[in-house]
Homo-oligomer: A and B are copies of this chain.
Amino acid sequence: MPSDLYAVADFCLIPMGTGESSVAEYIAECQRVLEKSGLTFKIFHFGYGTNLEGPWSEVSQAIHDCHTAVHRKGAPRVATDIRIGTRVDRDTPVGDGNDHKVKRVEEILARERAAASGIFVA
Contacts and interface: CB of A to CB of B under 8 A. Distances in A.
A63 B72 CA distance: 27
Tell me the interface secondary structure of chain A in the complex. mixed
Contact of A10 (B28, B49, B76): B49
A71 B24 contact: no
A4 B67 CA distance: 10
A44 B85 contact: no
Interface in A43-99: 43-49, 51, 56-57, 60-61, 63-64, 67-68, 71-72, 76-89, 97-99
Interface in A9-29: 9-10, 12, 14, 16-25, 27-28
16 contacts: A1-B68, A5-B67, A5-B71, A10-B47, A12-B83, A31-B109, A44-B102, A44-B105, A45-B45, A47-B51, A47-B102, A48-B83, A49-B49, A77-B86, A79-B84, A80-B83
